[in-house]
Structures are given as structure tokens and as C-alpha cells.
Amino acid sequence: MDKKTYLNIENLTCGYREGFMLKPFNLSLSKGSFGGIIGGNGSGKSTFFKGLTGELKITGGSVRLDGTELSSLTLRERAKRVALVPQFIEKSPITVEEYVLMGRMPHRRAFQFLETKEEQEILENSLELTGIMHLKRCRFTELSGGEQQMTAIACALAQKPQLILLDEPTSHLDITYQSRIMNLLQRLNEEEGLTVLMIIHDLNLAGEYCSHISLVKEGELIIQGDPEEVLRYKNIERAYDTVVVESRNPVSGKPAIFQVSERFSKRYDR
Amino acid sequence: MELQAVKALSIEAGKILFLVTLLIMASALSLCTGEISITPDRVLFYLKESGAMEYQVLHNIRIPRTILAIAIGGSLGLSGVILQGIYRNPLVEPYTLGISGGASLGITFVIVTGLQSAGELTLPLAGFTGALITVFLVYFLSYRREGVSTNRMLLTGVMISFISSSAVMFLMSVTAIENIHGIVFWTMGSLNESNPLMVYGILILSLTGLTLSYLFTAPLNALRLGESSARSLGINTKAVICILFFITSLLTGSSIAVAGVIGFVGLVIPHFARLISGTDYRSLLIISFLSGGVFMLLCDILARTLVFPNELPIGVITGIFGGVTFISLIWIKKRT
């Protein structure tokens, strides 16, 4: 197997019996990539994720992580390798500490009753990384949206996965939290080689941070590659049916996309 | 850090010990009160004094009753806390899911058809069968390819409750008068059961239920984060939920068969238990069981003494007492 491809998805199809079906999906990422999946609402991004995590049964194709076919693993073995930060986080009145410790669940011995010293260290480390150490004893329900998202990410990090999947981790958050989350993931990605794959709506964040972007439309992967190749106005207009212009971030030089209001776009059409 | 875990553990152990003490005190009170009152210091004496009337009272009436109260209170509290854990909905209890309704229907059916005379275990078996059929009916009616939708399940449960209670009424309206008396009496709930097979059977069943569900503390804890998160943490949620349903139907069905429909315990006790022990199922299961037992004992003592020499149906007491406690708990919680 090619050493470069760490996550290798071949002809993956999955979906709902009488409804949405994903067209064969091919994606390969090398170890330590920062992958982004973009596309309109209802384009199949979340369905693809559900196929990856095993929440939906895949109807065809294969998903290999570091050479291991994911569907051949038990849920527990899979959970040791892949962590998911879901789009909708259940609001439960448990403490942040308890929440994050749940991330150790797949690594526990059968009938392990008490937390070990190692687990406590991993807990502290995850809380430190996500900057929520001071919230350790707070109840999850009392936190702000950003703090809740950070807690969910800390839980996924405590899982010590090889691949972390995030479903729209920055939506509904202010730019402070957006940057905090993206910078944290970038740091872990660069320093620890954690492979990241996220569904993201903000095209400019995707352009700024991702090393690989897949654009999905109507259940089909229409283009993938470097942000430079994917974030072109032609691709974006095709996928989103919206008038945009492309530009660059003046500091980082990364591609950026701007929407254009109807007033201007009409003039531009002529 | 190790010390921290030990400290947390000893706090939980302290709470459990406190509840055990309460349970012992309530049991003693339950043994002492009644038509013939026995002072606590004489209880041990009379337990061995086989000639005395107190001996008969203790062995034939009060001890079975006390054991039954603990076992049924514990079973219902445990079922409630497990179901609320599965659904992550604080309004769920055996009653709202139709489990109680199904059990009632099974038992009414047996009384009406006269199958009851077939053997002592017919009633509890009918209750259990009714409960189990309902649970799986509810489960499969709300099953879809993507999994089970909790909302659908809750709605189906409530509907099945209605259907069962209508069916019970139907059976009552077509049956002989003497059967109606039996059904009504049974529906109101009573801990008056002296058959040792039933009493110890229920005790063993409830303790088995506690032990079995205790094996599922880790999945129950993971389910606090939601079903999809629990799955991504490596828990086979479907299998776990199925087994837990089986355990709760066994506990509820048999409790209802012996003591009738006793509402509210399964709803109030889990809230109370969470208030004192937080959300960790490692202690929550035990604390729910114990506080269910204490609550039931106290309610039974009230039921026996309030309108002495008559006896109130235990469901009346649990309903009123439980409801008032529940409202005041919410009230206190809101103010703090």
C-alpha cells in the first residue's frame, strides 16, 4: 500500500433506504493532513460522515485507516482509532470533567470501575489543550455554546484517536471560538500528526486551515484537492448556485471567497 | 490524583451507607407499626418467641410486607433511572412507556379468563409477559433503518398505554362482577402478599436486576452524551438498550403483578437520586434502588396508619406524597 495514503476511502456508498443515497465516494488523505468537506445543506456531507463512523451501514466500498478496514473492526476498536465531534451535542447535566473522561471509555479494561492515574493525566492534558481547565467542575448545561463545543472536542482528544472527525465544529460560534478551535486543531495536526477531517460551512476558514478540500454536491464528490484548486469561483458557483468572487487573504495568501450581493451581481451579469 | 478518586469514592460510599441506615430504620419502623404495636427493642425478642401472637404477626404479615416494599420500591426506582438513562428524558418511567399498561392488561386478562387458578405464578408471569410484549412492540414500531427514534418510542408508549387501559376497561365491562372486584382491588395496589414464594421471588428478582444492570454502568454513563456519541465511544447502543429493556420489563412486570399499579415511584425516585448523587451511574443505580426502597416503606407505613384500622391503597400514597415531594424539589431547585 502507498505509504502516503493514511485514510483511504474507495467507492464508499451509503444512505437511506428510500431516500438520499451517496454516490461512490473516493478520498485519500496522508497522515497528518487537515481535510475539509464543503458543500451546500443537504448535499450529503453528514451522510458521508455517518458512513465513516458506522452510524449508517455502508452499502458498498471500503474505508481503510492505516491499512485497516474500518468496517471489520468492532465498535470499540474503531473508537480507539476514530473520534467524532458531532454536530448536535446532547445537553446533559454532567460535569465537564465527567464528560471529558468519557473519552477514555473505549480504552478501558472490561469492568474497570475507577479512573486510573493515566486517565486523570489525559483528562488534565485535554482540558489544558482546549483551555477549559477552569470549567472542570461546571455542569455542561451551564456552559456557553463555545465552551460546550470545546468540551466535546476535549472529550474526542481524550480518546487519543488517529483520526478526528468534526461535524461543523465552528458553526454558531463567535470568531474567538472559531479561531481557537481551528488553531488548536492545526497545532495538534502539525505537532502530533493528528489527522483531521471536518465538515465546514465557512469557506474562508476552510481555505485558511485545510490542506485538502472536498466539494460535495447532491451526494457526489465533484472536486477535491488543494484549497487553491477547489476554492475557485467556478467550482463554488456550480456547487452552491451563488455568485461569488475569489481572492486571497492578504496576510496568509490563502484562497478566500466572497459572496456578492444581488445588486452587484446583476450589474456583473450584464 | 489517585487520592482524588479515592476521596470521590468514599463520598459516594458515605451516601450509600447513609441510605442503608435509613433503610434499616424504615424497616424497623415498618416492623413495629400496625394493629399490635411492638417496641423496637422487643422486635428481636419476638422474632424467636414462636408462642407469642407477635411472632405470627411479624413472620406472616410484617416481614413479608417489609421485604416486598423494599424489593418493589427498589425495582421501580431502578427501572425508572435506567429508562431515563436510555431516553435521556426526565419524564420517562415504566408508566409513560406503556410497560405498566401492558402488564396491567396481561394481568386483567388472566383474572378475567380465570387462568389465575392455574398456579401461583400465573399472575406475575402474565404481568411480565404483558410488559415484555409492550416493550418490544414499542421498540419495533419505532424502529427504522437509521435506528430507533426516541420521540416515536415515547409517543408509541403513551398510545399503547391508552390502548391497554381501554382494553382493560373493555375486559372489565364484559366480565362477571366478582372479577371486577378483584381487578379494581389489584389495580389500586397493595403490598398485602404473604405467599413466601412471591415475596422472596420478587426480592431475588430485584437484586438480580440491580446486579445485572450494574454490569451496564459504563454504557449507561456513555449514553449521557447521547446515543450517537455513545456509539462513537465504542458502545453497541442497540444491544445495550435491548438488554436494559428486558431487565426493566422484568422488574416492572413482576412488581405490578404482585402489588398492582404503583405510579410515580419510577418517576420521582430517579430525580431524587440524581439530586443526591449526581449523574454517575456507578452510584446512581444503587442510590435509586435504596431510595426507592425507603420511599416505598414510608409510603406503606402511611397507608397502613393514616386511616387505621382501614388501609389505604399504596398507589394513593405514592401518588400524593411523591407528587408533592416532586413539586417541592423542583421549587427548591429553581430558587437556588
Does the beta-carbon distance from B146 to A89 stay under 8 Å?
Answer: no
The answer to whether the CB of B180 falls within 8 A of the CB of B46 is no
Question: What's the confidence (pLDDT) of residue B117?
Answer: 75
Which of A12-26, A43-57, B210-224, B227-241 shows the highest mean pLDDT?
B210-224
Q: What angle do CA B259, B179, B107 make, to 5 degrees?
A: 40
Question: What's the confidence (pLDDT) of residue B153?
Answer: 78
CA distances from A230 to A41, A194, A206, A238, B146 (A): 18, 23, 11, 11, 32
Does the beta-carbon distance from A75 to B229 stay under 8 Å?
Answer: no
Question: What's the confidence (pLDDT) of residue A5?
Answer: 80
The answer to whether position A203 is within a domain reads no
Chain segment B52-83, per-residue pLDDT in tens: 888 888 888 899 999 999 999 999 999 999 99
Question: CA B281, CA B273: separation in Å to the nearest integer?
Answer: 10
Does the beta-carbon distance from A80 to B234 stay under 8 Å?
Answer: yes
Question: What's the confidence (pLDDT) of residue A268?
Answer: 58
Question: CA B261, CA B314: separation in Å to the nearest integer?
Answer: 9
pLDDT at residue B1 greater than cutoff 60: no
Parent domain of A150: 90-160
| Peptide bond before residue B309 is cis, with ω within 30 degrees of 0 | yes
Cell of residue B171, nine digits: 375486559
The answer to whether position A108 is within a domain reads yes
Tell me which residues of chain A have a pLDDT lower than 50.
1-3, 270
Q: Is the Cβ of A163 closer than 8 Å to some Cβ of chain B? A: no
The answer to whether position A122 is within a domain reads yes
Sign of CA dihedral B65, B256, B94, B252: positive
Q: Is the Cβ of B113 closer than 8 Å to some Cβ of chain A? A: no
Question: CA B187, CA B108: separation in Å to the nearest integer?
Answer: 9
> For residues A195 and B191, which has the higher predicted lDDT (pLDDT)?
A195
Cell of residue B140, nine digits: 419495533
pLDDT at residue B186 greater than cutoff 80: no
Q: Is the Cβ of B145 closer than 8 Å to some Cβ of chain A? A: yes
Query: Minimal Cα–Cα distance from B255 to chain A, Å?
Result: 29
Does the beta-carbon distance from A159 to B218 stay under 8 Å?
Answer: no
* Residues in A 187-226 with any Cβ partner in B closer than 8 A: none
Domain total of chain A = 1
Across the interface, of A89, A106, A112, the residue whose CB is closest to B233 is: A106
The answer to whether position A4 is within a domain reads no
One-letter identity of residue A158: A
Q: Is the Cβ of A121 closer than 8 Å to some Cβ of chain B? A: yes
The answer to whether position A220 is within a domain reads no
CA distances from B213 to A74, B91, B129, B207, B270 (A): 23, 20, 20, 10, 15
The answer to whether position A252 is within a domain reads no
Across the interface, of B145, B224, B236, the residue whose CB is closest to A75 is: B236
The answer to whether position A141 is within a domain reads yes
Across the interface, of B1, B225, B279, the residue whose CB is closest to A90 is: B225
Q: What domains does chain B contain, in order, with CATH numbers?
A: 2-335 (1.10.3470.10)
Question: What's the confidence (pLDDT) of residue B336?
Answer: 62
Across the interface, of A92, A106, A114, the residue whose CB is closest to B234 is: A106
Q: What is the reported pTM?
A: 0.88
The answer to whether position A138 is within a domain reads yes
